[in-house]
Chains A and B, each alone.
Chain A
Amino acid sequence: MQKLLRLAWLDFNMILREQMLWFMLFVVPGLQFSLALLLLPWLERQFPVMADYHPLILMLMTLQVVTSIGFVLASMLLDERDEQVLTALRAMPVGVNAFLFYRLSIGTFMAVLFSYAMLTAPGMEGLGPAARFTAALLFASAAPITTLALAAFSGNKVEGLAVYKGLSLILMIPAGSFFLSSWVNYVLGIVPVYWTLHYVDEALAGNMAIMELILALAAHGLALWGLFVLFKRRVFS
């Protein structure tokens, strides 16, 4: 536990020492949270037609928050790859797998906290505590997916930024399923976030949404496993 705290403290220091990282980790979520608390309800009062889309907008904002956490961790990993630190860690008793597991876990943990907070914003009152926590967990899974995808597909931080923009767009595509009624809707299920959005949608309607939950867990698990293997192959082969 002491080691974990020490690692977390050093990570925190590294984030504070780079403007872009603390901006993405604290300012972006802070802004999104403020918008969710203040702007969305105000817009809804001005334009009542928005009421139907309020939960969806909030879900996409939550997604933005967790991917920004994923981006921060990916940037750190890219730096560590450039600095050959990951090679040094391979020759340590802890091993690079444990280090990566820690990194992804701490990111996921933060993402759970942040997304839980986002899901307490007005518009999500329909979620009970258990469903809210489950939804937070599912949203948070997008953080390690972002981290691994960026670290696997980018050569450096600048490339990472470009990949991040592309990935953010891809992760938002499933939102389109709420405007489609044909079978094409399910094609978007290839993106794991699709199942998260539909789980929350069903949960807000008071349904158990067991199938959406199982498929969300399976899709995220599969994506994480594939990206982890890809990341290790690209970095260590």
Chain B
Amino acid sequence: MISVTNLSYTYPQSSGPAVDDISFEVPKGEVFGFLGPSGAGKSTTQKILIRLLQGFRGDVRVMGKPLEAWGKSFYNHIGVGFELPNHFGKLTALENLRFFGSFYDRPVRGPLELLRLVGLEEDAGKRAGDFSKGMKMRLNFVRAIMHSPELLFFDEPTSGLDPVNARRIKDLIIEQRDAGRTIFLTTHVMHDAEELCDRIAFIVNGKIALIDAPKALKLKYGRRLVRVEYLNGTVREEEFPLDGIGNNEGFLRILREEEVQTIHTEEASLDDIFIKVTGMRLL
């Protein structure tokens, strides 16, 4: 669905490249996460992919066609959920969706149905300018999916959302993936990436440091241990090798005789892996 080869981009007034010779592929139906700290080149890459930035070097193909060969019809096939809300503040949520929906040359979902998806049906008649950031982000989200595009770009889709609405948006992303859509997700929230993405790429200083499935990364960079917390007068903690755990007498004794508080395998978190691979923290 997306094929990027040796992509580089330097902003006009900048001395160094914002994106430096990166290559990756995103097959159809995949949720691909682009992770990195602020200024790493995530949004620049996304802007190139959605044709907002010209003058890049390298080969970028979307849906089998070079990016430069696409015309305005490109936007009938993609949906973009921007990082910052962008609606007509003086128009209501309903009017905003009708306005943007009128530009597509393909059927669009009903605006009320869309607002219902993100819990905004009761605010349909309220001006977007009076919305909270979370409400605006939800409106951003449904605007991106309103024309059922084959390819979706989301930039920090859960930014500014409370846990309930973040959950709602993540469920909708999963729904889109299950419907066969390809999703390019830019985020610095590792938890979201881990939950939603089939594969992730770490980008730092414009370069891709690593691409793999979250599960595979966690196993690769984790310790093959089980950590048990149990009560024996005070809280105690012990670690056991994961290999042969079923025959480990010490482990089995604790399960049998002690009051177990927690049991965790020691796979690495994406945060840990990011730090290990890039030497940087996600901010």
- List residues of chain A with CB under 8 Å of any chain B CB: 3, 6-7, 10, 13-14, 17-18, 79-80, 83-85, 87-88, 90-95, 237
Contact = CB atoms under 8 A, between A and B. Distances in A.
A87 B82 contact: yes
A92 B82 contact: no
A79 B50 CA distance: 24
Given A13-B91, A14-B91, A237-B12, A92 B85 contact: no
Nearest to A15: B90
A223 B1 CA distance: 44
A199 B12 CA distance: 44
Interface in B83-101: 84-91, 95, 98-100
Contact of B75 (A83, A87, A92): A92
Mostly helix, strand, loop or mixed at chain A's interface?
helix
A79 B89 contact: yes
The 10 nearest A-B residue pairs measured at CB: A84-B86, A88-B86, A94-B103, A91-B80, A14-B90, A93-B75, A92-B103, A17-B90, A93-B72, A83-B89
B84 to A, nearest CB: 6
A87 B86 contact: yes
22 contacts: A3-B103, A6-B99, A7-B102, A10-B91, A10-B95, A13-B90, A13-B91, A13-B95, A17-B90, A18-B90, A83-B87, A83-B129, A84-B86, A85-B86, A85-B87, A85-B88, A87-B82, A87-B86, A91-B50, A92-B104, A93-B72, A93-B103
B52 interface: yes
B89 A90 contact: no
A33 to B, nearest CB: 27
Q: Give the one of A6, A17, A85 with max B CB within 10 A.
A: A85
Contact of A84 (B76, B85, B99, B102): B85
